[in-house]
Amino acid sequence: MRRILLTATALLSLSTAASAQRNPQIRDGFMISLGVGAGSAGVSCSGCITDRENGPMLSLMLGGAVSPSLILGAETHGWAKQQNGENMQNGFLTGIAQWYPSVETGFFVKAGVGFGHVSDEATDPTFGNVKVESTGFAYQVGTGYDFRVGKNFSLSPFVNYLATTGASAKVNGTNANERLDVSNFQYGLGFTWH
């Protein structure tokens, strides 16, 4: 996946100058972006150490331009991995502000707040099916670039960091009186309609 994203980014940068002349950066009205890529997810809890796991991710952003340099919207992210009978997944729903420091370029930074959820389900020989999960306040920061390849369409490589804080763990639906937070570092490519 990383090789595909690097190749796509290299090809995009070769055509940026010509595309920018034909397709100027205009942000006005509704915007939607579908992102695909990979994420590195990790959990932290009281008294536990976990390794980060890599897996595929998807994202969807809906928003609107309030000015040529600012888009406000909502974004959702999903990450999942199945390995050795274990099913791990996390998801986020955030309200975001995406800011373009220069209206002539496609470079942007974003920040947001909302909610995040993590779950890990596996079958234990002693305890049977065990599901550990939590939901809590989440925050997001990220950056990327809109490469205009059409009048109303951009390819948008991005990186994001999302995390929950202060989320309470549940084991098979029962409160465990422990904290269980998730963090997810993502990189991918967005297909953006402006």
- pLDDT mean over 156-176: 92
Percent of the chain with pLDDT over 90: 63
Q: pLDDT tens digits, residue range 138-158?
A: 999 999 999 999 888 999 999
The structure tokens listed for 146 are: 């809109």
- pLDDT band for 135, please (50, 70, 90 cuts): very high
- pLDDT mean over 62-70: 95
What is the pLDDT of the chain when averaged over all its residues?
87
With beta carbons less than 8 A apart as the criterion, state whether 73 and 95 touch: yes
Candidates 123, 110, 2; CA nearest to 56 is 2
Length of the chain: 194
Of 44-48, 55-59, 125-129, where does the model show the most confidence? 55-59
Q: 3-state SS string over 136-193?
A: EEEEEEEEEECEEEECCEEEEEEEEEEEEEEEEEEECCEEEEEEEEEEEEEEEEEEEE
* Sign (positive or negative) of CA dihedral 43, 1, 158, 151: negative
- pLDDT attached to residue 2: 56
Which residue pairs from 4-8 have beta carbons closer than 8 angstroms and sit at least 24 positions apart in sequence?
A: 5/37, 5/157, 5/187, 5/188, 5/189, 8/155, 8/157, 8/189
CATH architecture for the domain at 2-193: Beta Barrel (2.40)
Q: pLDDT tens digits, residue range 111-132?
A: 999 999 999 998 777 767 889 8
- pLDDT band for 26, please (50, 70, 90 cuts): confident
Pairing of strands 29-45, 53-67: antiparallel
- pLDDT band for 15, please (50, 70, 90 cuts): very low
Candidates 114, 23, 78, 85; CA nearest to 188 is 78
Sequence ranges of the domains in the chain: 2-193
- pTM of this structure: 0.84
Lowest mean per-residue pLDDT among 57-61, 77-81, 127-131: 127-131
Lowest mean per-residue pLDDT among 104-108, 124-128, 174-178: 124-128
The structure tokens listed for 13 are: 């940068």
- pLDDT attached to residue 7: 53
